[in-house]
Structure 1
Amino acid sequence: MANDEKLAAMFRKFLRDTAGTYVMIFALAMPAVMGVVTAAVEMSTISRIRGQLQYALDASALATGKHLSITTDEAELKSYAADFFESNLGSAIDGQKVNLAFQFVEAPNSGKRIRLTANYDYDPIMKFLGLDDVLLNIVSEVTAGNKTIEVAIVVDNSGSMDSYTGSTTSTRLEKAKEAAGQLVTQLLALANISNKPDPVKISVVPFGHSVNIGSSHRGDDWMDMYGWSSIHHENIAWSGASTRGDSWPGLTAPSSGYKGQIGGSVSNITASGTTTSEWLTRWSLLDALDTNWGGCVEMRPWPYHTTDDEPSDLNADTLFVPMFAPDEPDEENSSEDDDYSNSYLDDYYRAYANPDGLTYWDSYRNVDRLLKDIPGKGANYGTYTRQQWRQDWAMKYNEDAKRSNYNSYYSRDYGDNGPNFGCTTQPLTPLSSDATTISDAINAMEAGGFTNVQAGIAWGWRTLSNGKPFTEGRPYYETENDKYIIVLTDGNNTYPGQSTDNDSQYTSWGYEKQGRVFDGLSTGMSAVAAMNAHTATTCNNIKAIIDGDGEAAYKIFTIAYDVSDGSSVKQLLYDCASAKADGSKYYFDVSGDALLAAMQAIGNEISDLRLSN
């Protein structure tokens, strides 16, 4: 402040002075002073113009890199780059003086890069000092991260996804399909500037209360084909006893052991000696009903439903067990429950004439007499109701298979019921680089059923790993590959309770009465709370895997879509999401059309488009 006042005082003295000394000195110094001032202005102007050009060029380069998702035609890209550059240039610069050049640059270590060059002919103020025009040359290059990427798109397909979202005329699932489709287009465009084989692969995992892995996998060695898993024979009573109908034909006593050797048959010791019999499994029941498996699997026993442990016959609980929804019992008198939701076979004697080929008619007459609950005693009389005996009795499935005129007497069209009850989603699509395959999988998704977020996350994980059941993924320790799981849901985990001895509808957890959903947890929690705990464990197990660079091998993005405030799933998804370098989370809480922007932001993060020059 003191210096400013001195300068002002000197300037006032200069203005008052009439002796001419200051005037003479100023006159002599004027050319030098003006040169310095003009040079300062010149440098400031050039710096400002250079900054404006660089800003516009960088913005254009990044935008053009993203535009690769729409076209790879160089002429179209150049035109797009020019338009974007001009729109960001500002009015202070004459666009006619700018020459913009576009080119793809091949680099052996980083694939293709987009290079934009802007030349600007600057007309200097200091021409009076003999300064020629200044040619400003600005360069901007954009490149994607020089890695391959694998992405699992995991989408809630439960019934609530059929609700309309926000003020739009689209359902939540329709909007999710749109957003996922745009993401796929955005990511597959990266292949156009990569020099790596299959640089982008994407899987699609729809989930409800279960995940459909595809019925074509019957027979794969990671499926439980022989009934060895500890959960395989739940809800199936193969042996009869006098009050429960006949045993399955040729049954070897379970006490002799279901598992004797690896193979399609086993030699067991019976009272009459050694005999060879087929393994009795859920597949046997499906075949007896002449019904195809729908493709859904149950949750593996704890802790394997929270892990990616590779299935092995040496540890049968790591094998995947097909869902088989039992025929739940009819209500035959007022003492029996009528709340069962999946009764698809008659429990009793048929009202029509005995068709040819019915071998076990006497069994049905036996069931008719002995497997009814006792009138006046109530549905839950005793520790195990006779309705439950009828539900578990395996021979009833074989009875129907014995009818030579089966189709004439009983329809196999079970509607929404049947052995595939609870299998509500389309099959997942393993990792693929084919745009049509991925888009078809997204467009095929349909809403229905309940919600099991953990199942979706776990199978998204399994599609990215390189071990069975799906082996399309690269090893997690590869340093030149990144793996991403994107999880979208519109609500909490759900567990469909039921006022019967089953305690619930049949789901990928079996029945609640078996208590498998609570395994590995403390007692006293609800089924939904148990599902939340298992979901959190699964997320933590995924994030704990470290790649060859010592970094997290998987990144999880989570999207709470149209989820009401106070919902427990918001915190669950927030905790599940991976953390960024700054400590924030890859978590999105959006509604309506905002989902499109969220997916684009995820695509930008995965694409890793960045300025390289």
Structure 2
Amino acid sequence: MLNKQSFKRDTSGNFGLTFGFLAVPVMLAGGLAVDYAGLSLDRSALQNAADAAALAVAREGNIPNWQAEDIARNVISANYGFSVAQLSVSLNDGVASVKAGIDRPLVFGGIVGKKTMPVTVNAEATFAYTKYEIALVLDTTGSMAGGKLVSMQNAVIGLIEGMSDLGLEEDQIKFALVPYAGFVNVGPEYGPTINGLGMIVKPGADWLDQDAKAPVPQSDLPSNLSRFALFKHLNVKWPGCVETRVPKKNALHDVDDTVPDVSDVNSLFTPFFAVDEPDEARKYPNSYLPDEGAPIKGKNATEADKEEQLSRYGQTGKYVKPNNVVAALLQMLKWKKPKIDNSPSSFYSNKKDPKGPAFGCEVEPLVPLTSKASDITKTVKKLEASGSTNMLEGVMWGWRVLSSREPFTGGASESDSSVEKIMIFLTDGQNSFGNLNNNLGSGYTSMGYLVDGRLDNLTAASSAQTNNALDKKTLAACTNAKEDGIEIYTIRLEETDTGTGTLLSECASSKSHYFDAPSRSQLSPIFDTIKKGVVKLRITS
């Protein structure tokens, strides 16, 4: 029998009784904590889903509300699993608002009379006020003829229209267009006006070498002969193409956007002029004048030889540069007008353009930065396929139209952080110098002829060597452009060459900026992906 003292000391039953009384509220509290944690997790996930949906809707610009709701629902369902979310979506003045809600089942809610708890979140997204300057650098070489060219045109126009539909202010988005092949056409309107005496009566752009002052290595024309004057003499309009600038020591004019300065003639751009090639149809694509005993001599031609070679163009007697009106008049009295054979060239299987001093510059002139998207689409529709692939000139002129520096100054200052400068570069082929088995080593290129040695001093080389040298210069141009703040997207279209793929991948700003399109049908989705990558959005709530 327990005595009174023992009974007082035996308290184990009290603990059991107390635990029994407390078990229910403890379990209830624990259950509610589990439900609360679940609600918090779902609220966080649903907020992320709503933010993503708002960004997706805002990216599309001005679209109907029903379409905005479909986009938001797909984003939330596909990426976050909230397939039964209640949604409300609206678009006002470029701001996408998304309200999303779910009824979350409660594990222990029945204890307090609730089986579910509503979870509701709100999200808003809009465009960050960023200005966009976009250069479309497009391959228009002969291999683009047919379906590839049409697919590219449709994809580019789709990008332009899609960007224009985003509801941006007029000053927020500008496009430039740079079609390229063997040359880039900067526009014939920048050339000077020349009179019948071969003299400039109205200067052209001061970044052009109008007076033939730059010491450009060439096989046929005297170093001091104005190409503009020769065009005038032959009664042919300068088509607007220019050559690649020649680097001088540390001034890498060919792969850097150095400013053209009249005080440095090497920095000026030499106008295109396709010389009359020797009368050997099997070796040369552009013989348009009779040789008359003074054909182009090529690599070993002296300055005296070049002056003598002018006899093909109608020069009689000794050539003297016309540096004043009297000298010009006397000079022109010695010239006769030759008759140009401008029949279609039959040398290349995919190029039937007329022969003459403009042969090779069939590319459409570039369009500098403009807020008028219609100017770009109009030119895109006019693009035709002709010529070989010169990626270097495409990249360089794509960079130049985005730059605030001469020769085109429409780009915003490179120090303006509110501007995104973007180059979209497309090609369907490898770099090609156009090597030929003749005395000049190639057709006429933006670096003259191979024998002129303007490509890494190569005067005789295989196609593999010249193409590799062009690839290296193209990559250097891309690298320099990126260091100048240009964001570069590249697209390889129906081209299996691994070297070209590597080049374009390294030219691009990142791996995700490079697109390989084995089929032309992939171009529109690629340009749509680029559009979404270009547009900068921000969450506003």
The TM-score bracket by the shorter chain reads: 0.7 to 0.9
Partner of residue 177, structure 1: 153
What is the 5 A alignment of 1:81-230? 84=74, 94=84, 98=86, 100-104=88-92, 112-118=94-100, 126=109, 129=112, 136-162=119-145, 170-171=147-148, 173-190=149-166, 192=167, 198-218=171-191, 219-230=204-215
The aligned counterpart of 1:298 is: 243
Change (3 A) 1:224 1:198: same
User: Per the alignment, in what secondary structure is the counterpart of residue 600 of structure 1?
Assistant: helix
Whichever residue aligns with residue 60 of structure 1, its letter is: A
What is the distance in 1 between the residues matched to 2:365 and 2:534? 25
Partner of 1:517: 455
**Where in structure 2 are the equivalents of 1:45-64 lying within 5 Å?**
46-47=39-40, 49-50=42-43, 53-64=46-57
2:491 match: 559
Measure how far apart 1:326 and its partner are. 1.0
Once the two structures are overlaid, the 10-residue window that deviates more, 40-49 or 176-185, is 40-49
Q: What is the distance in 2 between the residues matched to 1:54 and 1:591? A: 39
Deviations 1:68-89 (CA, angstroms, capped at 9, x unpaired):
1xxx256456555565468559
User: Aligned-pair distance for 1:596?
Assistant: 3.5
DSSP-derived class of the 1:204 partner: strand
Alpha-carbon distance between aligned partners in 2 of 1:542 and 1:444, rounded to the nearest angstrom: 28
Q: How far apart in 2 are the matches of 1:193 and 1:127? A: 52
Q: Is the 8 A contact 2:298 2:440 kept in 1?
A: no
Shift of 1:610: 4.4
Q: Is the 8 A contact 2:453 2:459 kept in 1?
A: no
Structure 2 vs 1, CA of residues 468 and 235 (structure 1 numbering), >3 Å: closer, same or farther?
same
Q: 1:430 aligns with which of 352, 360, 368?
A: 368
- Partner residue in 2 for 1:341: 285
The residue number in structure 2 matching 1:590 is 517
Partner of 2:4: none
Structure 1 residues 152 and 450: CA distance shift in structure 2, 3 A: same
Question: 2: distance between equivalents of 1:91 and 1:543?
Answer: 40
1:544 — aligned with what?
Answer: 483
* Aligned counterpart for 1:574 among listed residues 505, 509, 512: 505
Query: Aligned pair 1:535/2:479, yes or no?
Result: no
Deviation at 1:455, TM superposition (A): 0.4
Q: Which runs of 5+ in 1 are unaligned?
A: 1-19, 106-111, 164-169, 238-253, 259-279, 332-336, 348-366, 374-378, 546-552
How much has 1:54 moved relative to structure 2?
Answer: 3.1
The alpha-carbon deviation at position 148 of structure 1 amounts to: 1.4
Alignment match, 2:327: none
* Residue identity matched to 1:343: S
User: What SS does the aligned partner of 1:455 have?
Assistant: helix
Query: What's the TM-score, normalizing by structure 1?
Result: 0.68
Q: For the Cα contact (< 8 Å) 2:208–2:270, is it kept in 1?
A: yes
Any residues of structure 2 matched to 1:238-257 within 5 Å, and which?
Answer: none
Q: Distance in 1 between matches of 2:78 and 2:54?
A: 12
| Contact 2:299–2:440, Cα closer than 8 Å, also in 1 | no
Per the alignment, in what secondary structure is the counterpart of residue 205 of structure 2? coil
Distance 2:299 2:162 in 1: 61
How far the C-alpha of 1:543 sits from its partner, in A, is 2.7
Counterpart contact for 2:89–2:96, Cα < 8 Å? no
Alignment match of 2:228 (pick from 273, 283, 301): 283
Q: How much has 1:136 moved relative to structure 2?
A: 3.3
Mapping 1:380-529, distance limit 5 Å: 392-393=310-311, 395-396=313-314, 402=336, 415-519=353-457, 526-529=465-468
The CA distance in 2 between the partners of 1:576 and 1:148, in whole Å, is 23
* Residues in 2 aligned to 1:314 and 1:418: alpha-carbon distance in whole angstroms: 33
CA contact (8 A) 1:329 1:391 kept: no
State how far apart, in whole Å, the 1-side matches of 2:74 and 2:236 are: 59
Q: Secondary structure at the residue paired with 2:254?
A: helix
Q: Distance in 2 between matches of 1:21 and 1:381?
A: 113
TM-superposed deviation, 1:470: 0.7
TM-aligned CA distance change 1:158 to 1:293, over 3 Å: same
Provide, for residues 212-232 of structure 1, a one-character-per-residue CA deviation record: whole Å limited to 9, x for no partner: 111111121211222212128
Give, in whole Å, the separation in 2 of the partners of 1:589 and 1:93: 34
Q: Are the structure 2 counterparts of residues 420 and 206 from structure 1 closer, same or farther at C-alpha, using a change threshold of 3 Å?
A: same
Distance 1:539 1:295 in 2: 24
Q: Residues 179 and 289 of structure 1: is their aligned pair in 2 closer, same or farther, counting only changes over 3 Å?
A: same
**Displacement of 1:524:** 7.6
Alignment of 1:303-382 (within 5 A): 303-330=252-279, 338-347=282-291, 367=292, 371=294
Report deviation, 1:446: 2.0
| Shift in CA distance, 184/585, structure 1 to aligned 2, threshold 3 Å | same
Q: After TM superposition, give the deviation of residue 459 of structure 1 in Å.
A: 0.3
- The 3-state SS of whatever aligns with 2:90 is strand
Q: 2-side partners of 1:73 and 1:535: how far apart?
A: 40
TM-superposed deviation, 1:211 = 0.6
Residues 134 and 416 (structure 1), Cα distance of their counterparts in 2 relative to 1, 3 Å cut? same
How many angstroms does 1:180 deviate by? 2.4
Deviations 1:397-431 (A, max 9, x none): 7899856xx9xx87666643111111132111111
- Whole-Å separation in 2 of the counterparts to 1:454 and 1:140: 45
Task: Compare 386-395 and 222-231 and name the one that shifted more.
Answer: 386-395
Letter in 2 for 1:561: L
CA RMSD of aligned residues (A): 4.0
The one-letter amino acid of 1:600's match is D
**Is 1:290–1:401's contact at 8 Å kept on the other side of the alignment?**
no
Corresponding residue for 1:67?
A: 60
Q: Distance in 2 between matches of 1:540 and 1:127?
A: 65
Q: How many matched pairs?
A: 484
- In the TM superposition, residue 325 of structure 1 has moved relative to its aligned partner by 0.5
Aligned position for 1:266: none
Percent of pairs with identical residues: 29
For 1:180, give the aligned amino acid.
V
* TM-score in terms of structure 2 length: 0.77
Cα distance in 1, alignment partners of residues 160 and 533 from structure 2? 14
Task: Give structure 2 stretches of 5+ with no counterpart.
Answer: 1-12, 192-203, 316-331, 345-352
